[in-house]
Amino acid sequence: MRKWGVLLLVLLAPSFAQSLQGTAGSAFGLNIGVRFPLVPLLDGRIYAGANFFTGGPASLGGGADLLASLPLTDLYAGVGLFYATGTTVALLNQGPTAGGLGLRGVVGTYLNVGLPLVGVFVELHPMYFLGSNAFGLGGAIGVNLGF
């Protein structure tokens, strides 16, 4: 039953999304996801990714973030939970999360590129790997395509 619930969430998420996001960086190297509004100044994001950059077999994973925007700025911050089948992309520790969960913080800002419906953003991700009780630090640069 849980698999059907996850499948339904993944299929319906784009219909509620305000934007499609693609990033390069943590937690999985290459990530794609959707961002959708929850309440004013509070957004949700779900994403999936694959890590081909740290050597060895590819790591797959996904996660969800809860992001709060700071009024009158391009800054946002939040918390998230992710699941990885192998090594994640991070500094300090490579995230030995073989089949495990991790927590991450998100601090980000949009860059002013002046294109309609297209945004570029950078993020910093402090991470805690639950399976190994280790900390990591990651970052990402991404492109946001608004609807």
**From CA 48, how far away is CA 40, in angstroms rounded?**
25
3.40.50.460, 2.60.40.2470, 2.40.160.20, 2.40.50.140: which CATH number matches 17-146?
Answer: 2.40.160.20
How far is it, in rounded angstroms, from Cα 56 to Cα 75? 36
SS3 99: coil
Residue 133 confidence (pLDDT) above 70: yes
Section 69-93 average pLDDT? 87
pLDDT score of 1 more than 80: no
Task: Please report, as a single letter, which amino acid is at residue 137.
Answer: L
Identify the pLDDT of residue 94: 60
- pLDDT reported for residue 10: 63
Q: How confident is the model at residue 87, as a pLDDT?
A: 77
User: Any idea where the domains of the chain sit in the sequence?
Assistant: 17-146
Can you tell me which residue has the tokens 């980000």?
A: 108
Alpha-carbon distance 69 to 71, whole Å?
Answer: 6
Q: What is the pLDDT of residue 42?
A: 95
CA geometry: angle 118, 121, 122, nearest 5 deg = 165
Secondary structure of residue 2 in the 3-state scheme: helix
d(CA 57, CA 47): 20
pLDDT of residue 17: 76
Which tens digit of pLDDT belongs to each residue from 42-74? 999 999 998 877 666 778 889 999 999 999 999
The arithmetic mean of pLDDT across residues 14-39, rounded, is 87
% of the chain residues with pLDDT over 70 = 82
Cβ atoms of 58 and 25 within 8 Å: the answer is no
